[in-house]
Structure formats: C-alpha cells, structure tokens
A and B are shown apart, each in its own frame.
Chain A
Amino acid sequence: MIGHAARLFLGCVFLLAGVLKVINPDELAREMTGYGIIGARVSAVAAPLLIAIEITLGVALLVASRMRVTAAVASILLLVFLGAKIYSFARGNTDPCGCFGTYLQTSPGWGIAIDTGFLASGLLTLWGLGRRGDIGGRLRSMAVATVAFLSLGLAVASPHLPIDRFVTRLAVGRSLLDLGLQGKVPGEGRRLVALLDLTDPGAAAIAARLDAIAGEPRAARVVAITPSSEEDKAAFQWQANPGFAVEHVDFALLNPPGQRPLYRRLPRYFLVAGDRVVAIYDDAPPAASDLISSEAS
C-alpha cells in the first residue's frame, strides 16, 4: 500500500515536472548550463531528452508499468538531480531551482530539500513494492513507449509552437511596468520594441530589417532590448551599426523567477503606444509600411 502510494505520488511529481518544463525547454537548457557541469550545446540537446524522460517516467509510474525498474530509474535520476544541485550550490550558484520549469521556482536550498524528499519517495516505492513490481504488460509498455516518443517530439517542437500568448506575460494591453520594462523603452509615441539575442548569428540580418523601419521617419521608433552582455552589445554595435537604440536589460528582470517569462525564445517584437502593448509580432518584425498604415488608421 505504502509502495503504491509513493509510486503514484512520484508519478505525479515527474509528470508535473515534465509538463511544466515542456512549455519552455530553452529555459531548462539555460538552467542546466547554469549548474556549471555541462556546456550550452550539450544542454540544448539534453533538455528535451530530460523532459521526455520525466514525462515518460511519470506516466510509467502512474500506469504501473515495470514498476521496480521505473522506480529504480526515477530514484537514480533524482540522485543525479540532487548531486548536481549540491555541486552547483557549493560553487556559489544561488539561482532558483527550475525543478518544475520557470513557473514553480524555489531557492537552491529548498530545491535540495524537495529533491531529498522525492528521492525518499523513490526509495519507498522500491521498498514498498518488494518483488511485485517486476510484472510488465505489453500494452502498458507500448503505451509508455508511445508517450516517450510523443513527449520527445513535443519537447523538440515546443519552442516553435504558437503558445507564447498563453505562457509568457507579454500580451496586448499590458503596460511596460507589468513587463518590467519601465524606463527601458524611451519615448512616448509608438515604439517597436525588439527583444533580441545579440549573439544570434541572424542578429545582423534582423538589425537590417529593423533599420528599414528606423529609417522610415513616419514609422514607429525602434528600440532593441537585449539580455546579452555588454560585451556582446558592443560587438553588435560595431559590426551591425544599427540605426536604432539598443538597451541592455538583465535576464533576471526580463524573466523574473516565479513569474511568467517575457519570452521563451528570441527574437520577439511588440508595438507600444504610450506605455501599453498594442500589437505583438512573434515571427518577424512588421514591414515599415505596415507600421505607417496602422498609424494612419
């Protein structure tokens, strides 16, 4: 009984963690890099894999597929999480733990405590199930394999899915204060705000498109906001010679812990009138002519 209760609890935990992370795999990759154990390239590959593993483990635990194996894998995974957090914390990393994605974040200390509790649940599952858990079931295994396949596909595709309006805090009608950008978007009239990653190889091409808008006197003024470092900003400034202002805003301000992020992936564009967002352009900046015609109307 205790073993099954622990199994169901752990299954819910893994499923919730995976589902919340699949909304923003890029953020998970960034947090994994922040632990200082693996680099950005490895994290970019590992993040979708980890999400798929968590969802699959969650489902496998809930449907009781190969319970002992699943509980053992879950416990090992929790041990790895715990080790990574302790290692990172010992090196002075005080970034919040994104164990449940960007939407439920805890301090590193709490993250370690929570993982210890989950690990205890994993061990309790193993102990409580005894030898009963090793029965499989072909149908269940196939269902779990299907979930693994689908969740990996979802994690890979997620950044490209049009869900930003639901999962980020950028929305039409919100004020610059709501977005944490008060004082960062100079001017009072209509301004096109471009959220840019200046280290993106395509940044110069984006700058050229924004220059076309900035060079049109009747179009909205262009302001680029970037979480990239000051060094990256300087390099961009000298290489791209943008015809618009570039403001650095700290990543933590754009995506504060515990709040919905401003973006999942860059670039992102939005139009501001006064201090309110009036339009959002997720794929590409609007053409200068579009900004002029909308102003006329």
Chain B
Amino acid sequence: MRVRLAAPLAFALVVVPAAIPSQARAGELLCKANYDYSIEVNGTYPQGACFYQGDARGKWFIDIPSNKDGLLMDLTERKIFAVPRGRVAPAGDGELKVQDDLPPGSTAYAFSVEGPIIQFQADDSKIRILPVLQRPPITGSTTIAEIEADRPEYREGMKIYTPDPKSMAVIGKYPKQVEIEAYFATWCPHCKIYMPKLLRVLKDAKNPRIKLDLVGVPRNFTQASGPWSDKNLTSVPTIVVKVEGREITRMGAREGAVPEEELAGILQAVK
C-alpha cells in the first residue's frame, strides 16, 4: 500500500512543481535584443528596428517601429505571426515581454530561408532578416556619430565596453598632435568586435589633439579605389597611428586586443 501511494506522491512532488513554472510563463516570451542580425524593409534599414531572440526555442521577435504590429517568428511552426503592440511591453535592459499566446486566426505570414537570410512579405513590406555582416557596407569617410546611428551592432558594442582607466588617462592627456586613420569594414567580423572598442576609447578620451579619420572599405578594397587606396592595406581593420604628421605604427585586430592599452603604449613610447 505504501508503495502504491509512494508513486503518485512522488509524481505530485517532483513532476507537478516542475510543470507549474512553465505553465505560469506560458504565453509570455522574454525577448533579448540580438545585434548579429539586421532587419531590411523594402531595401532599407529602418533606424530603431530590432531583432530579438525569445527565451523559448525557435521564437524570435521582429520590432519595426513604423509597423502597426510586432512580428513573432516561430521556427518550429515555420510562420511569422503579427503581434498587436498591446501584447508587447518593455522588460528593462532593452528586453521585451511578448504575450505569444495569440488567439486562433491571428494574422500569419509564411517565410523562406535562403542560407543565412530569412525573408517574407508582410502586407506591402518585403522584409529580410540578414546577418549584419551582409548589409551593404559603409564605404568612404564616416564619423562615430554616423556609425552609432546606422549600425546598432557598433553602437551597442560601444555601449557595453569599459576601457581601462589608466590607459584612458594617458590617451586623454597626450600633449602631441595625433592623427588616427582607421580603415575598417562593416562586413568584417573582426572589425565588429574590435572597432566598437576603439571608437568608445576615442570618443571617451575627449582629447582635442587626437583627430580620427574613419574610413569604411568595400569587400574588394584591394582592387577598388577610394580613400583607402595607396595606403598599403592588406587587411582590415588597419589603424594607422600618426604623431605630429609622422606614421609611427599600425594597429590591427587580434583576438583579445585591448585598443586603449595598445594605443596608450604607442603614445607613451613617442613622448
């Protein structure tokens, strides 16, 4: 008798409590911004559009501010559902809570997958989700402000980076005229990691004697002509450091590179 009772009791103690939390959170998806992807709408990249990864398997949320509804991509059901804005709420730290227990008959769109790209038609918009490295690149001279506005992956990378204060003090107080020519590519995975750190460093340094020339290069930069030509570039990013008009050295991305420490070291060596 004891044995007979023990089994259901164990079931009640072990299985039921385990099931309760999932029932409690059913219908609510916590979504975290994922800056590895861009959202293209009719060939443009709307500012503020953001791709979110849900905390349930295969669920991703697409937020395009100009759209009436949010869009919930369900990879398991192979559909994208329109989610009324009333079902979406901020959850702090840039996260969103999405009520995904949509009523039957909710508007849904089919999507197709071509390699790393997802595309679908939502009403009159042709929408593509693509890796940020596949977006048309920034080419030519640009500025930190332009990059922050146009490239969320760089903006967020800058936001989360904390430069080393000692190195920053050296860079911030450096007395000579410094020119930094930074050749980078928005299609380059190493630039995506390294450049936000460097830009944050140069932005925070607030040293009026340090001038930054920021140049985006195309994929075929060794053949195509532009401000990067005749600079003897073999890879990106290449950061040319000039002190009082004279090229001192070049910095580049390597795994674990700390740009402010490297730059401070270079500047200290040219005191």
Cross-chain contact of B36 among A234, A241, A243 (Cβ < 8 A): A234
Cross-chain contact of B235 among A94, A217, A229, A243 (Cβ < 8 A): A94
Beyond A238-B118, A252-B255, is A94–B234 a contact (Cβ under 8 Å)? yes
**What are 19 A-B contacts with C-beta separation under 8 Å?**
A94-B235, A230-B36, A230-B116, A230-B189, A231-B116, A231-B133, A232-B116, A233-B116, A235-B115, A235-B116, A238-B113, A238-B116, A239-B113, A241-B58, A243-B57, A243-B58, A248-B189, A250-B189, A250-B190
Please name all residues of chain B whose beta carbon is closer than 8 Å to the beta carbon of A91 when the two chains form the complex.
234
Q: In the complex, A250→B189 CA distance in Å?
A: 9
Cross-chain contact of A230 among B133, B234, B255 (Cβ < 8 A): B133
Q: In the complex, A235→B129 CA distance in Å?
A: 11
Please name all residues of chain B whose beta carbon is closer than 8 Å to the beta carbon of A250 when the two chains form the complex.
189-190, 255
Chain A 249-286, CB within 8 Å of chain B: the 1/0 string?
01011001000000000000000000000000000000
Please name all residues of chain B whose beta carbon is closer than 8 Å to the beta carbon of A252 when the two chains form the complex.
254-255
The answer to whether B116 touches A234, judged by C-beta atoms less than 8 angstroms apart, is yes
- Does A202 sit within 8 A of B, measured CB to CB? no
Q: Interface residues of B toward A: which range?
A: 20 to 34
Q: Which residue of B lies closest to A242 (CB)?
A: B57
- Does A137 sit within 8 A of B, measured CB to CB? no
- Does B222 sit within 8 A of A, measured CB to CB? yes
Interface of chain B residues 201 through 246 with chain A (CB within 8 A): 222, 234-235
- Does A162 sit within 8 A of B, measured CB to CB? no
Q: In the complex, A248→B189 CA distance in Å?
A: 10
Please name all residues of chain B whose beta carbon is closer than 8 Å to the beta carbon of A231 when the two chains form the complex.
115-116, 131, 133-134
- Does B18 sit within 8 A of A, measured CB to CB? yes
The answer to whether A92 touches B134, judged by C-beta atoms less than 8 angstroms apart, is no
- Does B91 sit within 8 A of A, measured CB to CB? no
Q: How many A-B residue pairs have CB under 8 A?
A: 50
The answer to whether B235 touches A92, judged by C-beta atoms less than 8 angstroms apart, is yes
The answer to whether A234 touches B58, judged by C-beta atoms less than 8 angstroms apart, is no
Please name all residues of chain B whose beta carbon is closer than 8 Å to the beta carbon of A256 when the two chains form the complex.
255
Please name all residues of chain A whose beta carbon is closer than 8 Å to the beta carbon of B113 when the two chains form the complex.
235, 238-239
Beyond A92-B235, A94-B235, is A217–B18 a contact (Cβ under 8 Å)? yes
- Does B23 sit within 8 A of A, measured CB to CB? no
- Does B169 sit within 8 A of A, measured CB to CB? no
Q: Which residue of A lies closest to B74 (CB)?
A: A241
Which residues of A are in contact with B by a Cβ distance under 8 Å?
A: 91-92, 94, 217, 229-235, 238-239, 241, 243, 248, 250, 252-253, 256
Q: In the complex, A92→B190 CA distance in Å?
A: 16
Q: In the complex, A87→B36 CA distance in Å?
A: 35
Please name all residues of chain B whose beta carbon is closer than 8 Å to the beta carbon of A229 when the two chains form the complex.
189
Q: Which residue of A lies closest to B255 (CB)?
A: A253
Cross-chain contact of B131 among A92, A217, A230 (Cβ < 8 A): A230
- Chain A to chain B: the 10 pairs with minimum beta-carbon distance, closest first: A92-B234, A234-B116, A241-B75, A231-B116, A235-B116, A253-B255, A243-B57, A238-B113, A241-B58, A235-B115
Beyond A94-B234, A241-B57, A241-B58, is A234–B131 a contact (Cβ under 8 Å)? yes
Please name all residues of chain B whose beta carbon is closer than 8 Å to the beta carbon of A253 when the two chains form the complex.
255-256
Q: In the complex, A264→B256 CA distance in Å?
A: 23
Q: Which residue of A lies closest to B56 (CB)?
A: A243
Q: Which residue of B lies closest to A90 (CB)?
A: B234
Q: In the complex, A250→B36 CA distance in Å?
A: 15
- Does B184 sit within 8 A of A, measured CB to CB? no
Chain B proximity of A204: nearest CB distance (Å): 13
Chain B 10-34, CB within 8 Å of chain A: the 1/0 string?
0000000010000000000000000
Chain A proximity of B63: nearest CB distance (Å): 19
Please name all residues of chain A whose beta carbon is closer than 8 Å to the beta carbon of B162 when the two chains form the complex.
none
Chain B 127-140, CB within 8 Å of chain A: the 1/0 string?
00011011000000
- Does B106 sit within 8 A of A, measured CB to CB? no
- Does B61 sit within 8 A of A, measured CB to CB? no
Please name all residues of chain A whose beta carbon is closer than 8 Å to the beta carbon of B57 when the two chains form the complex.
241, 243
- Does B76 sit within 8 A of A, measured CB to CB? yes
Please name all residues of chain A whose beta carbon is closer than 8 Å to the beta carbon of B75 when the two chains form the complex.
238, 241
